[in-house]
Amino acid sequence: MKVGIPREVKNHEYRVAITPAGVHELVRNGHEVYIEDNAGVGSSIPNEEYVAAGATILPTADEVWATADLLLKVKEPIAQEYHRLRKGQTLFTYLHLAADRAGTDALIASGTTAIAYETVQLANGALPLLAPMSEVAGRLAPQVGSYHLMRPVGGRGVLPGGVPGTHPAKAVVIGGGVSGWHAATIAIGMGYDVTLLDRDINKLREADRIFGTKIKAIMSNSFELEKAVIEADLVIGAVLIPGAKAPKLVTNELVSRMKPGSVLVDIAIDQGGCFEDSRPTTHAEPTFQVHNSVFYCVANMPGAVPNTSTYALTNATLPYVVELANRGWKEALRRDPALAKGLNVHEGQIAFPAVAEAFGLESVSLESVLA
């Protein structure tokens, strides 16, 4: 099979969908790999390393898209890429379609078979291809939040851990999944007074077991969430419903009662965000103000640390990529129920119910597509 990897074109997106090790594995399995010129430079991977692993470098994105049977990306196609989508090609990437009507419509119109990293789901509910980027985003969130808490960039001017004789800053993490867990871990390490809110008592018990008195593990409800947010210097939103829009848990009215200069980091922005006022931002212009608070809603946070993110992503995706290349998309999905849940769109039809529900559209059953 011909596998293509174009350069990412989203604002300040420096990741690439495969490493030289991934190229080597695909070539070893008898496949041809085509990579756009300098696609890996942002991740500190020069063309020469890909060539040494067996890839062919093509000069333009158009050539990569036109050549590939299986097209690997990191982020969802954006408007300038829609014309390259075509029937007969399999696209494997993060899609986050429930928050992207234009992208959904483009995929439907193109006839592309689109498989989303973020909805590949194991029998135990784990999301193996979302997890590595959730880990990265979770670990970044307290760092970027702390930066924007500094007064010169509009924050409250508080130091996360304080110094002797002062109070540490208060961080609230909403959601105890992968990204929330990693956010809480880093926030604790930075010296924050950390509160973790979740509706799953088992996650709260695990947080208590691991962190003990270093964390307040609180059952999430409207009363406790409101109380924690009002007292917070930093709020990190890390709520996920796989493949669906994130619930809006922090309202505009609640933000109006927060401390002036407080910071809200919305890790869930790819799925529409979990704060009422959230809207996607970029690394070039990462923040905006609501009332007297600073919102950070960058939709590709891991793109800021591409070297780490690219290798972490390939570590997770490569086994699935190899299966798709070896067997073709339909047989690979038939054999692997977890991968099958990644199918979002096929030949003009939505195959993931949460995406269809987000826009009031019809969906087809996975079984009918794979029959």
- Binding residues for Mg(2+), by number, are 323
Which residue bears the tokens 């590939």? 68
Tell me the two tokens of residue 291: 């009332």
Rounded Cα gap, residues 191 and 183, in angstroms = 12
Tell me the two tokens of residue 240: 């996920």
Rounded Cα gap, residues 191 and 88, in angstroms = 52
Rounded Cα gap, residues 97 and 248, in angstroms = 17
- Binding residues for NAD(+), by number, are 134, 198, 203, 220, 239-240, 267-270, 279, 298-301
Give the list of residues 6+ apart from residue 133 with CB closer than 8 angstroms, or none: 94, 302, 309, 312, 313
Rounded Cα gap, residues 107 and 154, in angstroms = 40
Rounded Cα gap, residues 52 and 357, in angstroms = 46
In the annotation, is 96 catalytic? yes
Among residues 5, 15, 101, the alpha carbon closest in space to that of 361 is found at: 101
Among residues 169, 181, 101, 183, the alpha carbon closest in space to that of 141 is found at: 183
Which H/E stretch holds residue 72? strand 70-72
Q: Any idea what the Cα angle at residue 106 is, between residues 100 and 112, rounded to 5°?
A: 115
- Binding residues for substrate, by number, are 15, 75
Among residues 78, 75, 55, 68, the alpha carbon closest in space to that of 270 is found at: 75
Q: Among the options 100, 193, 266, 270, which is catalytic?
A: 270
Q: Among the options 31, 96, 148, 182, which is catalytic?
A: 96
Residues known to be catalytic: 96, 270
